[in-house]
Amino acid sequence: MEDESPEIQEGLHNDRPAGEAYPANRTPRGAKLKKIYNRLARVPLFRDARWEDLRLEPLDSFTNLNYKVTTNDETYVLRIAGKGTSNYIDRAAEEHNARIATAAGLNAETLFFDANDGTMLSRFVEGSTMDRIRFHSDPTALTRAALVLKQLHSFDRAFKSRFDAFAMIDYYLEFLRKLQAPLPAGFEEINQEVDAVRQLLEANFTPLTPCHNDPWPENFVEVGRRIYLIDWEYSGMNDPMWDLGNL
């Protein structure tokens, strides 16, 4: 591969409403650009590629670095996992679950996944996301999203991981205690209410199904009459009502 800079499209994308801005993912240069090259060099699809034939475009993400990678005839998304995210995201489980979702036609095609560091290459889906404004203004959006989740919850293959929100709360509380970090005012009162909900759910157990666990509007991508559900980092077996409650 030749060590030359690709054409880079400036700017940020998928603008969100005021007050919900993503962290800026600026045009990569210098060490960041070299990091992208190094990740792409590990992907079999790019072993014989030439850097000058590529165009990189930064995409929005809260925790990771995502780039639209365009060649002469194909378009992909490169995901470089955010620093420290693999401490709380099971990347092996994410790959397993994402590939099941791909096989079922719900997820964008997963072409490369390195569970060691979370690097992922998927096929770019050219469509429009259900941003939060459209999601609440379109009277059919909720129904269409719920039908996608119904398909997911009906998978006949189990996901590899278990998403347990209460276990995560306990984990983060213990983590904060080890740091001797103060808890916010009013936390104990809220935590008592959470414990009441926990006990209620444990007493009325619902069979677990494959769940996305992060189905906010911009993870739904519409392509004509088809809807893809992307970003499977938090996916796992869970109460399906969790997904519906997140809509």
| Residue pLDDT, tens place only, 3-31 | 333 333 333 333 344 345 555 556 666 67
Find tokens 């002469």 and name the residue: 72
Helix (H, G, I), strand (E, B) or coil at 13: coil
Whether the Cβ atoms of residue 75 and residue 69 lie closer than 8 Å to each other: yes
Whether the Cβ atoms of residue 6 and residue 56 lie closer than 8 Å to each other: yes
Give how far the C-alpha of residue 122 lies from the chain's centroid of Cα atoms, to the nearest Å. Answer: 12
For 53-69, b where at least 16 C-beta lie within 10 A, e where not — what string? Answer: ebbbbbbbbeebbbbbb
Helix (H, G, I), strand (E, B) or coil at 167: helix
| Residue pLDDT, tens place only, 76-121 | 999 999 988 888 899 999 999 999 999 999 999 999 999 999 999 9
Which residues partner with 210 through β-bridges?
237
Indicate whether 144 pLDDT > 50: yes
| Residue pLDDT, tens place only, 75-86 | 999 999 998 888
DSSP secondary structure, 172-202, as one string: HHHHHHHTTPPPPTTHHHHHHHHHHHHHHHH
pTM score > 0.85 for this model? no
Helix (H, G, I), strand (E, B) or coil at 237: strand
